[in-house]
Amino acid sequence: MSESPKEEMRRIQLTGGSTYIVSLPKNWVEKTGLKRGSIVSISEKDDMSLIIHPNASKRDAKLKRAVITVSDEISPESLVRRVVSSYLVGYNIIHLKNPEKRIDSAQRYTVKEFARSKLVGTEILSDLPSELVMQVLLSHAELSINDALRRMAIIASSMHRDAISTLSGENPQLAKEVISMDDEVDRFSLYIIRLLKAAVSDSRVLKEVGLNSSRECLGYRLITKSVERMADHAVNIAYNSLELNPSNLSEEILNELKSLSDRALKVFEDAIDHLFGMNYAAADKVMENAEEIRRMEKNVVQKIIKNAAREDVPSLRLIIESILRTAEYGSDIAETVLNMTITREIKEA
């Protein structure tokens, strides 16, 4: 059981008439290898506390390495979960090693395929019989959280539009393409979570990834999850479209579904736009528009029950539910924007 960190009190002193100084604990200085003339970095947190980083000039050069011991008892899926956890908590090098024998081919293939399809900026450096080494080559500054989230949202919106267009039955292959695009959304989701985990504990990383304060990290995490779930519902629409008989769907039903979809997608896309613009009033309006879509849904359901073929009704109801969830996730994003920007709308007493 680890001991809780000890708190030491230090008195602030004034030297030279204008400079405030405070002494550092001798034990800490010795542990970090600092000496007279060493440079440290000092960063201020939202709660007005200060963080002192030793060896400031060397911090970026050091790569964090995770070594994962592989054995036959670990399933390929469990091994992937270990890799994902290592990636998310910020390790730059992930080293899989079996100390006794070759890594099982199923384990190796599953990990490599997952890394290629889901882990942004990750390359395989070494692929030997008993070990597999991967490195995250993309730095924090190369792809900011906003840029990654914007790409993620654009892909999710495109998936939704394509999924709705498959309802006419003219391009069934498109539904399969929508399903495969979900991997790209997941890649950006994992990457953003990795950045947020690093940013919440390091103010230097916070600035590098494009955020202003650690308070924003929770908001962006919730928004990332909403975008990811919205993409999942685009996949659901694509799956359910494959269950329909296009010849049974009337033009009226197709138009009603498209109209509902357009309104839901506008709620989602407007919420994303207002996130990047940090616009409280506009985000508030998005939530009102989302309520209107729920009222529209009742009319569409009644028309489907009345006019659609009986065997198509279950799939159509599921499609409508996914369209509604798209609007609801847009509303959730807008609500998060409200929470992130409320301090601009009020005055503290």
What's residue 62's pLDDT? 65
Structural domain of residue 312, as residue ranges?
A: 145-344
Domain closes at, from 136, 160, 189: 136
Give me the helices (H) in 89-127, please: 105-118
Q: Report the distance separating Cα 159 and Cα 136, nearest Å.
A: 27
Q: Report the distance separating Cα 214 and Cα 269, nearest Å.
A: 25
The number of folded domains in the chain is: 3
Per residue in 222-245, pLDDT (tens digit) is 999 999 999 999 999 999 998 888
What's residue 67's pLDDT? 96
Burial class (CB in 10 A: 0-12, 13-18, 19+), 126: exposed
Q: Are residues 190 and 267 in the same domain?
A: yes
Categorize the per-residue pLDDT at 10 as very low, low, confident or very high, splitting at 50, 70 and 90: confident
Q: Report the distance separating Cα 89 and Cα 83, nearest Å.
A: 10
Q: Report the distance separating Cα 291 and Cα 335, nearest Å.
A: 13
Residue 222: inside a domain, yes or no? Answer: yes
What's residue 17's pLDDT? 67
What's residue 224's pLDDT? 97
Q: Are residues 202 and 268 in the same domain?
A: yes
CATH number of residue 23's parent domain: 2.10.260
Contact residues for 283 (Cβ-Cβ < 8 A; gap 6+): 271, 274, 275, 334, 335, 337, 338, 341
pTM of the model: 0.81
What's residue 98's pLDDT? 95
Q: Report the distance separating Cα 127 and Cα 108, nearest Å.
A: 9
Please compute the mean of the pLDDT values over residues 2-19 and round it to a whole number: 69
Residue 4: inside a domain, yes or no? Answer: no
Categorize the per-residue pLDDT at 151 as very low, low, confident or very high, splitting at 50, 70 and 90: very high
The mean pLDDT of the chain is: 87
